[in-house]
Amino acid sequence: METGEKGVKFDVQKIREQFPILNREVNGKQLVYFDNAATTQKPQRVIDAVKNYYEFENANVHRGIHYLSELATDKYEDSRVKVQKFLNAKESSEIVFTRGTTEGINLLSVSLCRDDFFKEGDEIIISNMEHHSNIVPWQLIAKRTGIKLKVVPITDAGELDFDAYKNLFSSKTKFVSLVHVSNTLGTINPVKEAIKIAHENDVPVLIDGAQATAHFPLDVQDLDCDFYVFSGHKTFGPTGIGALYGKKEFLEKLPPYQGGGEMIRDVTFEKTTYEGTPLKFEAGTPNIAGSIALGEALDFLSGLDREEVETHENELLKYATQKISEIKKVRIIGTAPNKSAVISFVVDGIHHYDIGTMMDTYGIALRTGHHCTQPIMARYGVTGTARASFALYNTKEEIDNFIDALNKIIKMFS
């Protein structure tokens, strides 16, 4: 994997040139893409990796002994190593390819359930700022196991209430699952500290990294999380691919999620034995092109100076926050001091859908609604927000366009 070029000045125009979609127009206007928390755009090299696979390398993995099958298998397994390095996991066998964050959490909850990890009355700690994909899978297994969800409240600014978190632990606490960066509030949670507290209580932790991977470097060994999940499509890679990291001692012990080809050693009608980790969790033909292109996306990111990327995104956040705060009718939801480049907001007297629809006429892509975080909406007493979320290719000029458009929309509605 390429290493980031430290000290090389971050050049946003050079980055933009690598993303063909950023050149297009929408509704007759130059596209301003501020929906990066939903999915990021893809650089040409990622698009080429998908095309190249189908054009020159297509074969099934782990099965054939012919040239193409071995090539596809090598590239698939190389990508696993790229994910391992990207997360700084100890071993590549700790990386399971999934469809994305959602599947990673479902895989884990179902496997834990099958392992009889939970017993009736056990408790799982999550927080009020989880994405639905870190709530519903636990509710699904709660029905079967009789476990209860305990929810860490959030402060008015949108931070985890840490005292409340500590107080939720009891002898019944069996698992913690927390979001690293909130897709709605932008809050970057102090997960390392949260993991330490859970471990002091002998409780393993899963971190939902869906909104972290595109924005800052990760080190699962330093965090000491037991599991980490993320999505390729939010990390400049394709849709339908992501990964679950799990400490080896857990993955080795856990039973499979799905059954089928690729994940077995021997099958008879009486008894089936499984592959070791990670293959026992990857039943059926995987997303081979997706995993190879994900590796390419991680190479793209790792080839940049990540500190420069963070600085650029923080400047965008600061600039946009300041500009939007100058508009009287706007209220930002999520004002934690440690934030990723996400601004959720409501405007007095204008429905968020109207803002999104009007923005679209200016070629500006925002997200509106509850962002799959209805408990956050309930916490702040709103039905939805408009959300601008930035990535490394966004610019201050785009923010100026957005603020201009917002002022026009507010004027039009008043």
CA quadruple 261, 262, 266, 270: dihedral positive or negative? negative
Instruction: Encode the chain in three state secondary structure.
Output: CCCCCCCCCCCHHHHHHCCHHHHCEECCEECEECECCCCCCCCHHHHHHHHHHHHHHCCCCCCCCCHHHHHHHHHHHHHHHHHHHHHCCCCHHHEEEECCHHHHHHHHHHHHHHCCCCCCCCEEEEECCCCHHHCHHHHHHHHHHCCEEEEECECCCCCECHHHHHHHCCCCEEEEEEECECCCCCEECCHHHHHHHHHHCCCCEEEECCCCCCCCCCCHHHHCCCEEEEEHHHCCCCCCCEEEEECHHHHHHCCCCCCCCCCEEEECCCCEEECCCCHHHCCCCCCHHHHHHHHHHHHHHHCCCHHHHHHHHHHHHHHHHHHHHCCCCEEEECCCCCECCEEEEEECCECHHHHHHHHHHCCEECEEECCCCHHHHHHHCCCCEEEEECCCCCCHHHHHHHHHHHHHHHHHHC
CB of 380 to ligand PMP, least distance (A): 17
CB of 50: closest distance to ligand PMP in angstroms? 17
Residue 72 or 129 with smaller CB distance to ligand PMP? 129
Rounded Cα gap, residues 187 and 118, in angstroms: 30
Where does this chain touch ligand PMP (CB under 6 A) — which range of 50-58, 98-106, 142-150, 347-355? 98-106
Indicate the residue among 36 and 335 with the shorter CB distance to ligand PMP.
Answer: 36
372 is catalytic: yes
Smaller CB separation from ligand PMP, 177 or 277: 177
Residues 100 to 119: which contact ligand PMP by CB under 6 A? 100-102
Instruction: Rank residues 40 and 101 by Cβ distance to ligand PMP and give the closer one.
Output: 101
Residue 388 is a binding residue for ligand PMP (CB under 6 A): no
215 binds ligand PMP (CB under 6 A): no
How many Cβ atoms are within 10 Å of 274's Cβ, its own excluded? 17
Stretch that binds ligand PMP, among 42-50, 146-154, 203-211, 257-265 (CB under 6 A): 203-211
Q: Kindly tell me which of 211 and 394 has the beta carbon lying closer to ligand PMP.
A: 211
256 part of the interface to ligand PMP, by CB under 6 A: no
**From the CB of 377, what's the least distance to ligand PMP, in Å?**
15
Binding region for ligand PMP (CB under 6 A) out of 95-103, 253-261, 277-285, 335-343: 95-103
User: Considering only residues 145, 211, 213, 287, which one is a binding residue for ligand PMP as defined by CB under 6 A?
Assistant: 211
Of the candidates 59, 372, 374, 382, the residue annotated as catalytic is 372
Q: CB neighbours (10 Å) of residue 116?
A: 9
Among 57, 123, 159, 208, binds ligand PMP (CB under 6 A): 208
Q: How far is the CB of 14 from ligand PMP (least distance, A)?
A: 28
- x/- map, 143-182, ligand PMP, by CB under 6 A: ------------------------------------x---
Q: Site for ligand PMP (CB under 6 A): which residue of 231, 235, 389, 401?
A: 231
Six token digits for residue 72: 């596809």
For residue 112, the minimal CB distance to ligand PMP (Å) is 18
Q: Single out the segment in contact with ligand PMP by CB under 6 A; choices: 51-59, 67-75, 205-213, 248-256.
A: 205-213
Taking the least distance from each CB to ligand PMP, the nearer of 169 and 345 is 345
Q: Is 131 in the site for ligand PMP (CB under 6 A)?
A: yes
Q: Active-site residues: which are they?
A: 372
Site of interaction with ligand PMP (CB under 6 A)? 37, 100-102, 131, 133, 179, 183, 208, 210-211, 231, 372
